[in-house]
Chains A and B, each alone.
Chain A
């Protein structure tokens, strides 16, 4: 549906997007992830024919953005970071105007307007001035504007930025609800958003493509081995560590010092790493129990997108993706047991 090849956008002094290539298939929701200033908006602006690329090509539904911009524009709905609204217009007037310039026939307009208003839950503010709407409503009017002409592709630039938590959830649900009919690219710097909504993630940083894959694949690709957090009640840390190291498939065991002040009991924390492709949790549990210690907790630590992201963008050195950037006590809270 969307094909980007060798896309580069150079401004006077700096390169905003540097040789990016990716493809998006029909019906996918793709998260465009990167810190602020990574080149997300620029890429989106090229895709929406707002600006031409310096070099490289981009095409939407088989139409090149430079050779056939009209065809591309007809097939794209775009919500820029600040919704493009006219504060002195009523919502329904605004949608009417947008519908006309998007090429909808005036006969279809009232029906489409009421459909998208229903979908975006703005039916109750139809005759209000846009300038008087709250931020959440404005965002939804912006979204309604983007889907009004029923485009094949939806491009949403930070659709949840600046909304309160409740509105964020609503907007996310709305986007998920649109997934079937449209191919969606949304940009964000919020990682959990991508985990929640998207099937595929494209990570860019400083204008360069860092990774493009499904969320699950990215996790497993970065972490072939399993990391397990173990909490044992025992007195002799060294002994426990020695026993754990003997469990089949374990590559190494690290003992973590008990946080000062909370000590007094005999809780010991270990982080155990497996060899590639080995499941060590059953073995670990059995070993601890058989040794007569109490097993307080045992859980696998999935790498969160935050960690993936940090590892991918912190440095471009290949070893950055492997062990040394250690998950430690603070991070275990976020991980889930699998």
Chain B
């Protein structure tokens, strides 16, 4: 109940400020760019294969949806810190954190409410990008199941990075700092799988496993692996746990 109250207030605040509109607009713009060139490339290739008479099987899912999901995933990486950076930093700066923390609600409810609002905004972004995908359905016959799995992957990875961003936002009362640190951590988590590409010792494999991107790959192929579900769930819970611990520390550090 309290969680929903907080969530509603945060969502309202996203749409009262330019944040939601900016993020959604940038998302639609960049997503549209990738979609347009992905589609153009596909059209060109299929024309070529038609002219040369090759019966080269061209799959819309494989040629458009999959690369697009990876691209969109990278764009999300940039926008997620913008969504989370103000969540706690702004409350700390303006002093409204005192209102929340002296009200009869639990810290966990505050954390969950804010994170859910961020997830809700992110979901709205995903819905917007589905508009691009719907064009594919209008003119082609992509398989909807891998697409749905891909979006599930985007949502799970987003939820995980949003939880981490929320945590970072509790560390400072400066939004820019929260955004910058949030972005750095997200990016590192994203490319961590490079480590395991140069070696296969246990350490390197473990570090590689921590990469959010390596877990996204199977989703973009349309595969739901319980290993990846567990990873995202664990990371999200870890992020939210750290957030509530950090919020508690605001009390004795204030």
Contact B13 A88 (CB under 8 A): yes
Contacts of B9 in A (CB 8 A): 86, 89, 97
Q: Pick the contact of B6: A45, A81, A101 (CB < 8 A).
A: A101
Q: Contacts A88-B16, A89-B12; is A50 near B102 (CB within 8 Å)?
A: yes
The residue on A at minimum CB distance from B2 is A101
Identify whether the interface residues of B are mostly helix, strand, loop, or mixed: helix
CA distance A78 to B105 in the complex (A): 15
CB-CB under 8 A for A76 and B105, given A50-B251, A86-B13, A89-B12? no
Q: Mark B1-35, 1 if CB is under 8 A from A, else 0.
A: 01001100100110011000000000000000000
Q: Which among A78, A84, A145 has the highest number of chain B CB atoms within 10 Å?
A: A84
- Chain A interface size band reads 20 to 34
Residues from chain B with Cβ under 8 Å of A93 in the complex: 12
Contact B252 A76 (CB under 8 A): no
A93 to B223 alpha-carbon distance, docked (Å): 44
**In the complex, A257→B102 CA distance in Å?**
57
User: B96, A85: Cβ atoms under 8 Å?
Assistant: yes
Residue among B99, B104, B252 with max Cβ neighbours from chain A (10 Å): B99
B254 interface residue (CB < 8 Å to A): yes
Most B Cβ at <10 Å: residue of A45, A74, A76, A101: A101
Q: Please measure, in the bound complex, the distance between the C-alpha atom of A298 and the C-alpha atom of B217, giving whole angstroms.
A: 94
Question: Would A78 and B16 count as touching, CB distance under 8 A?
Answer: no
Interchain CB contact under 8 A, B99 and A73: no
- Residues in B172-227 with C-beta less than 8 Å from chain A: none
Q: How far is the CA of A84 from the CA of B99 in the complex (A)?
A: 6
> 0/1 per residue, A28-65, Cβ < 8 Å to B?
00000000000000000100111110000000000000
Residues of B within 8 A of A45 (CB): 98, 254
Known: A93-B12, A103-B104. A51 touches B96 (CB 8 A): no
Roughly how many angstroms separate A78 CA and B97 CA in the complex, as a whole number? 12
CB–CB A101/B100 < 8 A:
yes
Assuming A52-B251, A78-B98, A145-B99, is B13 touching A100 (CB within 8 A)? Answer: no
Q: Which residue of A lies closest to B98 (CB)?
A: A80
Contact (Cβ within 8 A) A98 B104: no
- Cα of A100 to Cα of B1 in the assembled complex, Å: 9
Contacts of A50 on B, CB cut-off 8 Å?
A: 98, 101-102, 251, 254
- Report which residue of B9, B17, B100, B102 has the largest number of chain A beta carbons within 10 angstroms of its beta carbon: B102
Contacting pair A100 B251 (CB below 8 A) = no
Q: Which residues of A contact B96 (CB under 8 A)?
A: 84-86
Q: Is the CB of A89 within 8 A of B102?
A: no
- B54 interface residue per 8 A CB criterion: no
Most buried by A among B6, B95, B104, B252: B104
Whether A97 touches B5, Cβ cut-off 8 Å, given contacts A73-B102, A84-B98, A102-B104, is: yes
A98 to B13 Cα, complex, angstroms: 15
Output the residue of B6, B97, B101, B251 with the most chain A CB within 10 A. Answer: B101
State A164–B6 Cα separation when bound (angstroms).
34
Q: Which residue of B lies closest to A86 (CB)?
A: B96
Q: Are A78 and B2 in contact (CB under 8 A)?
A: no
Contacts A70-B104, A74-B104, A101-B100 given: A84-B94 contact, CB under 8 Å? yes
Say if the beta carbon of B103 comes within 8 Å of chain A. yes
Quick one: closest A residue to B16, CB to CB?
A: A88
| A102 near B101: Cβ-Cβ < 8 Å | no
Interface hits, A142-178 → B, CB 8 Å: 145
Within A95-116, the residues touching B (CB, 8 Å) are 97-98, 100-103
Which residues between 224 and 254 of chain B lie within 8 Å of chain A, taking CB atoms?
A: 251-252, 254
Choose one: B2, B97, B101; the contact of A100 (CB below 8 Å). Answer: B2
CB distance from B105 to the nearest CB of A (A): 5
Q: Tell me, rounded to whole Å, the shortest Cβ–Cβ distance linking B18 to chain A.
A: 10
Contacts of A102 in B (CB 8 A): 103-104
Contact of B99 among A49, A70, A98 (CB under 8 A): A98
A100-B5 in contact (CB<8A): yes
Smallest CB–CB gap between B16 and chain A, Å?
Answer: 4
A51-B99 contact in complex given A88-B13, A97-B5, C-beta closer than 8 Å: no
Per the bound structure, the CA–CA distance linking A89 and B101 in Å amounts to 19
Residues in A with CB closer than 8 Å to B2 are 100-101
Contacts of B102 in A (CB 8 A): 48-50, 73, 76, 78
Given contact pairs A88-B16, A97-B9, A73 touches B104 in the complex (Cβ within 8 A)? yes
For A101, list chain B residues within 8 Å (CB). 2, 5-6, 100, 103-105
Please give me the residue from chain B that is nearest to A47 by CB atom.
B102
If the complex has contacts A73-B102, A78-B102, A98-B99, are A51 and B254 also in contact, measured as CB distance less than 8 A?
Answer: yes
A-B contact pairs, 5 of them (CB 8 A): A52-B251, A80-B95, A81-B95, A100-B5, A145-B99
Chain A residues engaging chain B, CB cutoff 8 angstroms: 45, 48-52, 70, 73-74, 76, 78, 80-82, 84-89, 93, 97-98, 100-103, 145
For the A-B complex with A50-B254, A86-B94 known, give 14 more contacts whose Cβ atoms are closer than 8 Å.
A49-B101, A52-B252, A70-B104, A73-B104, A80-B95, A81-B95, A84-B94, A84-B95, A84-B97, A86-B9, A89-B9, A101-B100, A102-B103, A103-B104
**What residues make up the interface of B, taking CB atoms closer than 8 Å to A?**
2, 5-6, 9, 12-13, 16-17, 94-105, 251-252, 254
The 9 closest A-B pairs by CB, nearest first: A84-B99, A88-B16, A73-B104, A84-B96, A48-B102, A100-B5, A101-B103, A74-B104, A82-B95
